Structure 1
Amino acid sequence: MLAFINKNKNDLIYLGLLLFSVFIGRYYRSIGSVQAKKWVGSIIGLLLIVTVSGYNAIHPIFSALLGITIIKLTTVRYCHVATFFLMFGYLFFFRLADKFGLPLSSGQTNLIEMIIVLRVVGVAFEINGSWITVGKTKKQENDDNKSQVKGIDRDDDFVEIINPCYADLFHYTFNYVGLLTGPYYRYRTFDDYFHLPFSKYVDCTGFTINTLKIVPLYVSLYLALSNLWPLEYILSEDHNNRNFLYRMLYPWALFAAFRQRVYSGMTLAESVCTSAGLGAYPVQGRNRTGHGPTVGYLKLKKMSEEEAKSAQYDFITVESMDVWGCETVVTLRDSMKVWNKAVQYWVAMVVYKRFPVKLLKIHAALFVSVIWHGYHAGYFFCIYFCPFYLMAEDIYYKLYYKDATGTKKKIIGFIMWFLRSHSESYQAAAFLLLTFDRIWIYYSSVYHYWYGVWFAFLILGLLLNQVHKIGRHKKIEDVNTKEKIKNVKQ
């Protein structure tokens, strides 16, 4: 037991701090004064950073202060770009600190720095995006047809100006809720928490218990799987002497253990939010992870205390993982949508939607996702190879799964699920092994076979797609010919 504690000391401290953050939520949400509540949240956040990081706390604290200073010093037009490059530049410096004669920080401090980057860059893009969108809306407000359509349709990404002062940026950046391991939430969500009555009337305790009850299972599965199939074994000579099928399937066990670890951390992080009441919105807002309400947001802001008291709520805004979806969805494309949804939202809003070159949007999004995780080769192998699998998967999905029904759809769905799961496991091995030399050892032990399978699937899919197109055109021509003959006879 002592050996286990010494080996996992940092993880156990981190787990303890997450549980502490869950526990204090009920007391935090009961604070009446808005300013006192903001300061208490920020002070707890700073104490958590110092507890986790020690002297290295200087990195997340200094980078955050530098980032929010840049936001206030630069113009609205350029604050998002300046902040993006500053924060990611500092993230590189932070991870390469040993090259500058400074000690490297722990993995837990790295997680906090990653969240700080999301918050500071995210709020800069919110500020810029709100001014652009609201400015355009004002120019077009005389268009009656447009405003009528907006009444029924979804809200724009920004429906009002967002312009927090320096103090509010400070409180948003350092608030303890979601600071340790996410989830990411917008500044708008943070501001609503203090000024709207929803956290007073939502059943925070019920949501928190419901979220937490599955965590012991995730932790137990993680401990069992990681002990039965340890990561380092994949690099051993004994592993290389096993039969090919064993070596091929070993990443399934590694990725299964990794998923349980992520599920545990993300679920605890969501519980911190539900315990404090942050991220609660009425269900009629059709809330979206990361974003919050997507319909009628301005109406929700005017909701009376009586209406708020009787409303039905959810915490979808701060939901990070759709665990059931992660385990059961058929395609990799759908799997990417339900994995770490809050960060996926950030990447979509900050990078994908705002990148100016349409053809390069997906590459920009993937590249930013990679460098946010780190500079190791494993992140590139894992994340940047997804599009190559998706190219083949999309073809087979459209040809065979999309319009299938009954038993045929179930069989094809199972095959696609297996291939998707196997692909993720193969890529996850690189994510966990991190460095190129370690990845090469494992991939060489299985002859890099999965890349060959991907390529073969893609070529075969392209050929089958062409055959299908030719068959479809021929069928259309036959129908047209029959129609012409029928018209002639008449």
Structure 2
Amino acid sequence: MISFITKNKNDIIYLSLLLFSVAVGPYYRSINSIQIKKWVGSLLGLLLIVIVSGYSAFHPISSAIVGIILIKLATVKYCHIVTFFFMFGYLFFFRLADKFGLPLSSGQTNLIQMIIVLRVVGVAFEINGSWRAVGAGKKKEDKPDNDKKEKDADFLEIHNPSLMDLFHYSFNYVALLTGPYYRYRTFDDYFNLPYSKYADCAGFTINTLKTVPLYISLYLAMSNVWPLEYILTEDHNNRSFLYRMLYPWVLFAAFRQRIYSGMTLAESVCTSAGVGAYPVEGKNRTGHGPTVGYLKLNQMTEEEAKRAQYDFNTVESMDVWGCETVVTLRDSMKVWNKAVQYWVAMVVYKRFPVKSLKIHAALFVSVIWHGYHAGYFFCIYFCPFYLMAEDIYYKLYYKDATGTKKKIIGFIMWFLRSHSESYQAAAFLLLTFDRIWIYYSSVYHYWYGCWLAFLIIGLILNQIHKMGRPKKLKGDEKQPISSNH
């Protein structure tokens, strides 16, 4: 028992701090003064950083302060670009600190630094995005249009938080340890709108927490029975090919339980404090918040707020059931760490200027946000190659299938998706190129060959399918191609 505690000391401390953050939520939520509440949230956040990081707390604190100063010093036109390059540049320095004669920080400090990057860069893009949207709205107003529709306040309001508000947003303890990411607007709404007073925060928190013991138990059991390091041993290499091929399944299953427990606890910190509570009529989306009728929600009276139904979709990171059951890798990516997926989509994918390189830019930023190890590139950057083949088979065989046929094809696609994720997750967990090469060599790099074969066969089948389609004739008449052709 003592050896277990010693070995997992940092994780136990981190887990304890997450539980503390959940427990303090109701007290934090009950503070009436907005300014006192902001300061208490920031001081708690700074305290958590210092407890987790010790002297390494210098990194997340100093980088966030410099980042928010840059936001205010740079013009609104360029603040997002300046902040992006500074925060990611510092993230590289932070992870290579030993090359500069400084001690490397713990993995837990790395998580905090990653969240700080999301918040500081995210708010800079919010400020710039609101300025661009308002400018575009004014141009449209200058044009005669008899069918103008009332614009939502989400698109017509310039976000210009003060330096102190940026400070409070960056360091507020809610979701600081491991996410989820939420926008500055969500943070501002939390203090200025009444939703957290009337949402069933305790009920949502209990409902969210109840699965955490199961995730932790499964993680501890699987990681002890099937340890990661065993995959690099000679004993593992002497096992059958089938055993070596399927070993990543249990590694990835254990890893998922760890992520599920951490993300679920992180969501519970938000629900306990009331951050991310919005009326369901806003059709709230992870990371973003309300997607419709924000102006109406913003003007909601206390009486209406009391009667409203609420959800915490804004701070939902993991759709656990979806992660386990969805058929395709494309859908799996949508339900895994949804808050970060939202950040990457809004900050990188939608704002990258070269359309043909958008997906590559998004994947590259996702990789370097996770780290510089080869495992992140193998895991994340190889997804499009599988997706190319998967999309073909999905359209040809699964999309329009029904009944038993759809279930059988769906199971096959689910198995292949799960196997692909497990194969890639092995690289993610092994991290370094030499360790990845040892395992992939033990299974002869077979899955990359399978991907290529799937793609080539899929392209051929797709061409055959296109040739079998009826040709369009003049007058939009359709006539089936004769079998003799």
Whether these two folds match at TM > 0.5 is yes
Query: Who is 2:88 aligned against?
Result: 88
Is the 8 Å Cα contact of residues 469 and 480 (structure 2) preserved in structure 1? no
Query: Who is 1:42 aligned against?
Result: 42
List aligned pairs for 1:299-338, cutoff 5 A. 299-338=296-335
Is 1:350 the counterpart of 2:351? The answer is no
Is the 8 Å Cα contact of residues 133 and 156 (structure 2) preserved in structure 1? yes
Tell me, in whole angstroms, the C-alpha distance in 2 between the residues paired with 1:482 and 1:21: 65
Query: Who is 2:227 aligned against?
Result: 230
Q: Using the TM superposition, give the Cα deviation of residue 62 of structure 1 relative to its aligned residue in structure 2, in angstroms.
A: 0.3
List aligned pairs for 1:42-191, cutoff 5 A. 42-141=42-141, 143-145=144-146, 147-148=148-149, 155=152, 158-191=155-188
Is the 8 Å Cα contact of residues 153 and 294 (structure 2) preserved in structure 1? no
Alignment deviations for residues 154-200 of structure 1 (CA, whole Å, 9 cap, x no partner): x5863311000000000000000000000000000000000000000
Alignment deviations for residues 67-98 of structure 1 (CA, whole Å, 9 cap, x no partner): 00000000000000000000000000000000
With over 3 angstroms needed to count, the CA separation of the structure-2 counterparts of 1:476 and 1:3, relative to structure 1, is farther
> Residue type of the partner of 2:81?
V
Is 1:255 the counterpart of 2:252? The answer is yes
Q: Using the TM superposition, give the Cα deviation of residue 134 of structure 1 relative to its aligned residue in structure 2, in angstroms.
A: 1.1
Tell me, in whole angstroms, the C-alpha distance in 2 between the residues paired with 1:303 and 1:144: 30
Tell me, in whole angstroms, the C-alpha distance in 2 between the residues paired with 1:286 and 1:347: 21
Which of 264, 273, 278 in structure 1 is aligned with 2:275? 278
Q: Using the TM superposition, give the Cα deviation of residue 304 of structure 1 relative to its aligned residue in structure 2, in angstroms.
A: 0.1
Alignment deviations for residues 36-76 of structure 1 (CA, whole Å, 9 cap, x no partner): 00000000000000000000000000000000000000000
Which of 408, 411, 416 in structure 2 is aligned with 1:411? 408
Query: Who is 2:425 aligned against?
Result: 428
> Residue type of the partner of 1:184?
Y
Helix, strand or coil for the counterpart of 1:24?
helix
Q: Percent identity?
A: 83
> Residue type of the partner of 2:248?
P
Which of 298, 308, 315 in structure 1 is aligned with 2:295? 298
Query: Who is 1:390 aligned against?
Result: 387
Tell me, in whole angstroms, the C-alpha distance in 1 between the residues paired with 2:458 and 2:390: 9
> Residue type of the partner of 1:179?
L
> Residue type of the partner of 2:458?
G
User: Which stretches in structure 1 are left out of the alignment for 5+ residues?
Assistant: 484-490
Helix, strand or coil for the counterpart of 2:368?
helix
Tell me, in whole angstroms, the C-alpha distance in 2 between the residues paired with 1:317 and 1:402: 30
Q: Using the TM superposition, give the Cα deviation of residue 135 of structure 1 relative to its aligned residue in structure 2, in angstroms.
A: 1.6
Tell me, in whole angstroms, the C-alpha distance in 2 between the residues paired with 1:145 and 1:263: 51
Query: Who is 1:486 aligned against?
Result: none
Query: Who is 1:19 aligned against?
Result: 19
Tell me, in whole angstroms, the C-alpha distance in 1 between the residues paired with 2:145 and 2:224: 64
Q: Using the TM superposition, give the Cα deviation of residue 145 of structure 1 relative to its aligned residue in structure 2, in angstroms.
A: 4.8
Query: Who is 2:375 aligned against?
Result: 378
> Residue type of the partner of 2:261?
S
With over 3 angstroms needed to count, the CA separation of the structure-2 counterparts of 1:480 and 1:368, relative to structure 1, is closer
With over 3 angstroms needed to count, the CA separation of the structure-2 counterparts of 1:340 and 1:307, relative to structure 1, is same
> Residue type of the partner of 1:374?
G
> Residue type of the partner of 1:147?
K
State the TM-score, normalized to the length of structure 1. Answer: 0.96
Tell me, in whole angstroms, the C-alpha distance in 2 between the residues paired with 1:329 and 1:255: 16
Is the 8 Å Cα contact of residues 277 and 314 (structure 2) preserved in structure 1? yes
User: Which stretches in structure 2 are left out of the alignment for 5+ residues?
Assistant: none
Q: Using the TM superposition, give the Cα deviation of residue 298 of structure 1 relative to its aligned residue in structure 2, in angstroms.
A: 1.1
Query: Who is 2:452 aligned against?
Result: 455
Helix, strand or coil for the counterpart of 1:141?
helix
> Residue type of the partner of 1:243?
S
Helix, strand or coil for the counterpart of 1:32?
coil
Query: Who is 2:363 aligned against?
Result: 366
Q: Using the TM superposition, give the Cα deviation of residue 476 of structure 1 relative to its aligned residue in structure 2, in angstroms.
A: 8.0
Q: Using the TM superposition, give the Cα deviation of residue 480 of structure 1 relative to its aligned residue in structure 2, in angstroms.
A: 4.6
Tell me, in whole angstroms, the C-alpha distance in 2 between the residues paired with 1:338 and 1:190: 23
Query: RMSD of the alignment, in Å?
Result: 1.5
Tell me, in whole angstroms, the C-alpha distance in 1 between the residues paired with 2:215 and 2:148: 48
Which of 263, 266, 269 in structure 1 is aligned with 2:263? 266
> Residue type of the partner of 1:75?
T
> Residue type of the partner of 1:137?
G
Query: Who is 1:221 aligned against?
Result: 218
Alignment deviations for residues 206-242 of structure 1 (CA, whole Å, 9 cap, x no partner): 0000000000000000001101110000000000000
With over 3 angstroms needed to count, the CA separation of the structure-2 counterparts of 1:176 and 1:473, relative to structure 1, is same
Helix, strand or coil for the counterpart of 1:135?
helix
Helix, strand or coil for the counterpart of 1:161?
coil
Which of 202, 205, 217 in structure 1 is aligned with 2:202? 205
Alignment deviations for residues 382-408 of structure 1 (CA, whole Å, 9 cap, x no partner): 000000000000000000000000000
Helix, strand or coil for the counterpart of 1:472?
coil
Helix, strand or coil for the counterpart of 2:405?
helix
Tell me, in whole angstroms, the C-alpha distance in 1 between the residues paired with 2:370 and 2:261: 19
> Residue type of the partner of 2:99?
K
State the TM-score, normalized to the length of structure 2. Answer: 0.97
Tell me, in whole angstroms, the C-alpha distance in 1 between the residues paired with 2:459 and 2:146: 44
Tell me, in whole angstroms, the C-alpha distance in 1 between the residues paired with 2:104 and 2:141: 53
Tell me, in whole angstroms, the C-alpha distance in 2 between the residues paired with 1:159 and 1:245: 58
Is 1:464 the counterpart of 2:465? The answer is no
Q: Using the TM superposition, give the Cα deviation of residue 473 of structure 1 relative to its aligned residue in structure 2, in angstroms.
A: 3.6
> Residue type of the partner of 1:366?
L
